[in-house]
Amino acid sequence: MRMAELSRASGVPVATIKYYLREELLPAGERTSPNQASYDDSHVRRLRLIRAMLDTGGLSVAAAKEVVAALDAPDLGIHQVLGVAQRALISVRDDVTPADREWASERVEALARDRDWHVKPGEPSTDSLVAILATFRELGREQLLEHFLDSYARVADELARVDLHSLGDGPAESTVETMVVASVLTDALLAALRKVAQVNASARRFEGDGLSR
């Protein structure tokens, strides 16, 4: 199909498609003449994935490029691609004070012992967890953190099993793309579900009973 049809099929404006081509987020079409190229269903699918990464996942264009490059690299294993997708989703504050960082690192190590996790300092997922724990402390909310941390960590383990289990399904060749979709969309899915659940729990507890603060 031509560019205009690709735009109709994907719902993405032509100018945006051209931008994604320039940024190498979208592979070039097959050239059919000096001014024309032909696109196929793989381009439609890729465009939808790009929109999901940018709009729903909140990735930057640079981060989405890294994910797309990993997706297209033939010799990366599943665990490596998961690492790339995760790094793209993670942003780590770099202005944490040494004292807060040390406190948070010790807390993460204790948590890892409890849950039998191997955490490596320098790994983006570990660093981001340390930075978030440090933020609770900065805000003087260590006690609040203690309320959440163990339940949240247990739930995170439970969800990681659900996530990996889901990879067993579907055609094998799409496992890696499935994993990327899952990484990008499930943070957003869980955040949205939690908000619906919170509104309901909060309405039951606080609304209409005249409780003010």
Which 93-122 residues touch a copy of itself, going by CB under 8 A? 93, 95, 97, 112, 115, 117-119
**Positive or negative torsion for Cα 133, 138, 139, 141:** positive
Is 126 a binding residue for a copy of itself by CB under 8 A? The answer is yes
178: amino acid identity, one letter: T
CA 45 vs CA 54, 57, 74, 102, 129: distances in Å: 14, 16, 18, 44, 33
Complex with a copy of itself: residue 65 or 104, whichever CB lies closer: 104
Question: What are residue 30's phi and psi, to 5 degrees?
Answer: -85, 125
Binding to a copy of itself, residues 52-81 (CB under 8 A): 52, 55-56, 58, 77-79
Is 171 a binding residue for a copy of itself by CB under 8 A? The answer is no
* Shortest spacing between CB 90 and a copy of itself, in angstroms: 7
Q: What is the CA radius of gyration of the chain?
A: 21
**Positive or negative torsion for Cα 156, 158, 159, 160:** positive
> CA 78 to CA 85: how far, in whole Å?
11
Q: Which of 35, 122, 161, 171 binds a copy of itself (CB under 8 A)?
A: 161
> CA 213 to CA 206: how far, in whole Å?
10
Complex with a copy of itself: residue 34 or 74, whichever CB lies closer: 74
Is 206 a binding residue for a copy of itself by CB under 8 A? The answer is yes
Angle, vertex CA 72, rays to CA 82 and CA 172, nearest 5: 65
Residue 4 in contact with residue 14, Cβ under 8 Å? yes
95: amino acid identity, one letter: D
Binding to a copy of itself, residues 138-157 (CB under 8 A): 138-141, 143-145, 147-149, 151-153, 155-157
* Shortest spacing between CB 21 and a copy of itself, in angstroms: 20
Is 165 a binding residue for a copy of itself by CB under 8 A? The answer is yes
* Shortest spacing between CB 35 and a copy of itself, in angstroms: 29
Binding window for a copy of itself (CB under 8 A); candidates: 14-22, 27-35, 60-68, 179-187: 179-187
* Shortest spacing between CB 101 and a copy of itself, in angstroms: 13
Q: Which of 21, 37, 38, 86 binds a copy of itself (CB under 8 A)?
A: 86
Is 16 a binding residue for a copy of itself by CB under 8 A? The answer is no
